[in-house]
Structure 1
Amino acid sequence: MSKKCLIILSYVNYPSDQLLYQLTEEADYIICADGGQMIARSYNILPDVVIGDFDSTSIDEKFDCLYITYPAEKDITDAEASLNHAVEMGCDDVTCYGGIGGRLDHMLGNISILSKYSDKIKLRFMDDRNYLTMITNSSIVLPKSLRYQYFGVVPLDREARGVTISGAKYQLSNVDMKRASTLGISNEVSGDAARVSVKKGSLLIARSSDIEEK
């Protein structure tokens, strides 16, 4: 049976109490990465563990849960440290709330995390306007969503071979996509769901909505 984990990160570009409470209810295990504990406290969410170096976060009252402290000078981010712990706890379906749309270096690092872990577990980063995941030599079904109207696909390798997109406004059939191309940007689900597949390579899948449409 799948074990779902929610990791609340320290920065959420577009917060949503409705989305966060939904993710909390679905989670079997909740981790706060450093400043994510401030978000959890503001929404009265009790985590199972708080992980980080706590160099930029101060809190007067700690949660009644496990705290794992890392040195400030370390080789991984608090997000990856939290993800490592989730995997150690047997979680195979992980949602990171936040981590996109803030500091660009952290966002790029989180894309690297997707590349590193997505062949081992189900992993995505999301907030109220953006959803980021990745597939490698596989496929994904994208249900029609009121939250995320658009989707785009971007190769992470030099070339993704055999890309097929069906059930979308713009469809592809067994196309080789180069990383430097913008061919896969700004698509929409046309029916109940779209399907994206790639025969060889990795595709970043981004679901988004325009600000003015929310």
Structure 2
Amino acid sequence: MNKCFIITAFINGSIKDNINITQNDYIICADGGYKFATQEKITPNLLLGDFDSFKGPLPQEIQTITYPVEKDDTDTMLCVKYAVEKGFNDICLVGGMGGRLDHTISNLQSMSWAIEFWNANHLKGKKISMSDCQNHVMLIMDDSIIISGTPGEKISLLSYSENCMNVTTKNLKWELTNALLRNSFPLGISNEFLTSECEVSVEKGQLLIIRAKD
């Protein structure tokens, strides 16, 4: 299926500066994310959440799924679950970083849930990421990925699971070959693209790949 964007309730920068939305993409607003969408004249396909952070009337012309405030899942997690269940191949959380640290971490956990679900159900080739004006975060599990960039651009690799086994990179300034990364030591911070494309693979584990601007 097409790409799904989940507009979160905290965004560093503007939506349109962070991502490129096409008419074929599916857009979900997580609760207060609808405020940012309306500011940039973006019409979502779905509004979802408990709407404790969005103040104002909800539009009747947009499909809306409302949940109680007291629940186990965050609004963003509910959106991720919805996108996964609908079979989208590429899910991107817009914003979701900065502000409250607990919200940032919970969004990373939502991404982790998605790739664990796909892995358990042998669904290959699906992607999930989180993006704002300063950072683009990807999470892969037992997989490899080719990433486009620019020479000198920073890229960091961090183990999100306890260990990441046999991490290998190509076309990065500091190469890794069958390396062990642990979640208790930041070995992979601030590597750099050597060319316009790099490859990163991890044989076992969940690997965070972060492209960040100073």
TM-score (norm 2): 0.89
Check 1:125–1:189 CA distance in 2 against 1; reply closer, same or farther (3 A cut): same
Please point out which of 94, 97, 101 is paired with 1:100: 97
Offset of residue 193 of structure 1: 0.9
Q: Which runs of 4+ in 1 moved over 6 A?
A: none
Offset of residue 16 of structure 1: 4.8
Q: Is the 8 A contact 1:143 1:189 kept in 2?
A: no
1:4 aligned partner: 3
Please point out which of 45, 56, 64 is paired with 1:48: 45
Check 1:63–1:19 CA distance in 2 against 1; reply closer, same or farther (3 A cut): farther
2:121 aligned partner: none
* Identity across the alignment (%): 35
Matched ranges for 1:21-170 at <5 A: 22=20, 24-25=21-22, 27-60=24-57, 62=59, 64-119=61-116, 120=118, 121-145=126-150, 149-170=153-174
Q: For the residues of structure 2 that align with 1:101 and 1:145, how far apart are their CA atoms?
A: 25
Matched ranges for 1:181-200 at <5 A: 181-200=185-204
Q: For the residues of structure 1 that align with 2:137 and 2:17, how far apart are their CA atoms?
A: 19
1:25 counterpart SS class: coil
Q: Is the 8 A contact 1:142 1:189 kept in 2?
A: no
Q: Is the 8 A contact 1:32 1:50 kept in 2?
A: yes
Q: Is the 8 A contact 1:155 1:203 kept in 2?
A: yes
Offset of residue 63 of structure 1: 6.0
TM-score (norm 1): 0.89
Alignment RMSD (CA, Å): 1.9
2:173 counterpart SS class: coil
Q: For the residues of structure 2 that align with 1:27 and 1:130, how far apart are their CA atoms?
A: 24
Q: List runs of 5+ in structure 2 lacking aligned partners.
A: 119-125
Offset of residue 26 of structure 1: 6.2
